[in-house]
């Protein structure tokens, strides 16, 4: 297995508050890496450091390195805009734009210079199909995306990310607002996507982490406590704190 991404001594600060302490974590290519840990332990912070979305928040500072294909993304020569095209992100709350379903998915490709209607139609179709949403929305592509259910919105947002053809997809608790059926669909989707993409997913749901991921990292108070294959973490954790957390004894 090869590392698609890797963090080296990654620390993140919000003004004076240190949210992450020197985290070293590999992210394997074409695999799903799950990040687990109690609320406030720094999972979202870590995720946002992987595509420099933390820079959007005033007063954040980063130390250490984040490598993408061996190159540090915090190198001053790296353009964050180009980076985010390669490392896409799905947020906790589904956040479609207040426009039509078609325009939502076509937004990224349009930004990146694709103008031809037939090209856009093709991309939209392909992305919606890949996100397992095409059949449900093919008759209402030009209707508002805000009329979709929460689960459909979350898959739309994934389709929107897929449309810019990223290499890595970061997902921050993508199922937290979804019912069990939508969640199951989303998990199926993640399973299929990993053939072509590298996926990092934050989740509070232990069963979900166990079901969808190949590798798991356990965070506590801004530190990475343990990282291993998901099987190992859930069957034979090395750390007592990991075991306590996954068996529900705290957090």
Partner 1 sequence: MDKGLAGIYENLVKYLLGIVAVTSVLILLLIFYFLIREGAGLFSHVSLPGFIFGTEWLPDAEPPRFGALPLITGSLVVTTGAGIIAISIGIGIAVFLAEVAPRSVREVAKAVIELLAGIPSVVYGFLGLTVLAPLIKDMLNLPSALCAFTASIVLGIMALPTVVSISEDALDAVPREYREASLALGATKWETTWRIVVPSARSGLLAASMLGLGRAIGETMAVLMVAGNATLIPHSIFDPVRTITADIAAEMGETVHGGLHYQALFGLGIVLFSITFFINMVTDIVFARTSSKRGAS
Ligand X SMILES: Nc1ncnc2c1ncn2[C@@H]1O[C@H](COP(=O)(O)OP(=O)(O)OP(=O)(O)O)[C@@H](O)[C@H]1O
DSSP run (H or E) holding 159: helix 150-162
DSSP 8-state code for residue 100: B
Q: Out of 7, 28, 44, 198, which residue is the one contacting Mg ion (CB under 5 A)? A: 44
With CB under 5 A as the contact rule, which of the stretches 39-47, 63-71, 174-182, 240-248 interacts with Mg ion? Answer: 39-47
Quickly tell me which residue has 């420099």 as its tokens.
Answer: 52
Q: Collapsing DSSP states into helix, strand and coil, what is residue 204?
A: coil
- Please give the residues from 12 up to 71 whose contact with ligand X meets the rule CB under 6 A: 14, 17, 19, 37, 39-45, 57
Q: Which residues bind partner 1 (CB under 8 A)?
A: 51, 53, 56, 58, 81-82, 84-85, 88-89, 91, 93, 95, 97-100, 107-108, 111-112, 142-147, 157, 160-161, 164
What minimum distance in Å lies between the beta carbon of 197 and ligand X?
A: 22
The nearer residue to partner 1, 2 or 58, going by C-beta atoms, is: 58
Nearest to 3 by CA among 72, 75, 67, 84: 67
Tokens of 209: 């982490």
Cβ atoms 197, 28 nearer than 8 A: no
The nearer residue to partner 1, 21 or 74, going by C-beta atoms, is: 74
Neighbouring CB atoms inside 10 A of 245's CB total: 23
What minimum distance in Å lies between the beta carbon of 49 and ligand X?
A: 9
The nearer residue to ligand X, 54 or 183, going by C-beta atoms, is: 54
What minimum distance in Å lies between the beta carbon of 213 and ligand X?
A: 16
What minimum distance in Å lies between the beta carbon of 37 and ligand X?
A: 6
Nearest to 13 by CA among 45, 44, 56, 48: 45
What minimum distance in Å lies between the beta carbon of 152 and ligand X?
A: 23
E strand spans, the chain: 3-14, 17-28, 32-36, 60-68, 71-72, 87-90, 168-172, 198-202, 215-220, 223-229
With CB under 5 A as the contact rule, which of the stretches 40-48, 80-88, 218-226, 241-249 interacts with Mg ion? Answer: 40-48
> What are φ and ψ of residue 226, in 5° steps?
-155, 140
Tokens of 145: 């995306």
Quickly tell me which residue has 């074409």 as its tokens.
Answer: 30
Nearest to 213 by CA among 28, 5, 51: 28
Residue 181: name its binding partner from Mg ion, partner 1, ligand X, none (Cβ under 5 to 8 Å by kind): none
What minimum distance in Å lies between the beta carbon of 105 and partner 1?
A: 10
Residue 157: name its binding partner from Mg ion, ligand X, partner 1, none (Cβ under 5 to 8 Å by kind): partner 1
Interface with ligand X (CB under 6 A)? 14, 17, 19, 37, 39-45, 57
Interface with Mg ion (CB under 5 A)? 44
């Amino acid at each position: 297995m090869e590392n698609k991404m890797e963090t080296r001594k990654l620390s993140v600060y919000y003004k004076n508050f240190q949210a992450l302490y020197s985290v070293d974590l590999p992210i394997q290519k074409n695999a799903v890496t799950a990040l687990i840990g109690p609320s406030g332990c720094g999972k979202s912070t870590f995720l946002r450091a992987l595509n420099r979305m933390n820079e959007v928040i005033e007063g954040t500072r980063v130390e250490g390195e984040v490598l993408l294909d061996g190159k540090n993304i915090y190198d001053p020569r790296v353009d964050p805009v180009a980076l985010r095209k390669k490392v896409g992100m799905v947020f906790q709350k589904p956040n479609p734009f207040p426009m039509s379903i078609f325009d939502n998915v076509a937004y990224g490709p349009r930004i990146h210079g694709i103008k031809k209607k037939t090209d856009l139609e093709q991309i939209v179709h392909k992305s919606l199909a890949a996100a397992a949403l095409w059949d449900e929305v093919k008759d209402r592509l030009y209707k508002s995306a805000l009329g979709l259910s929460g689960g459909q919105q979350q898959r739309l947002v994934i389709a929107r990310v897929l449309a810019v053809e990223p290499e890595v997809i970061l997902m921050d608790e993508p199922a937290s607002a979804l019912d069990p059926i939508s969640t199951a669909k989303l998990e199926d989707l993640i399973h299929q996507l990993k053939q072509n993409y590298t996926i990092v997913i934050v989740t509070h749901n232990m069963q979900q982490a166990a079901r969808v991921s190949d590798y798991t990292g356990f965070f506590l108070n801004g530190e990475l406590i343990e990282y291993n294959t998901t099987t190992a973490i859930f069957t034979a954790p090395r750390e007592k704190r990991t075991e306590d957390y996954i068996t529900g004894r705290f957090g």
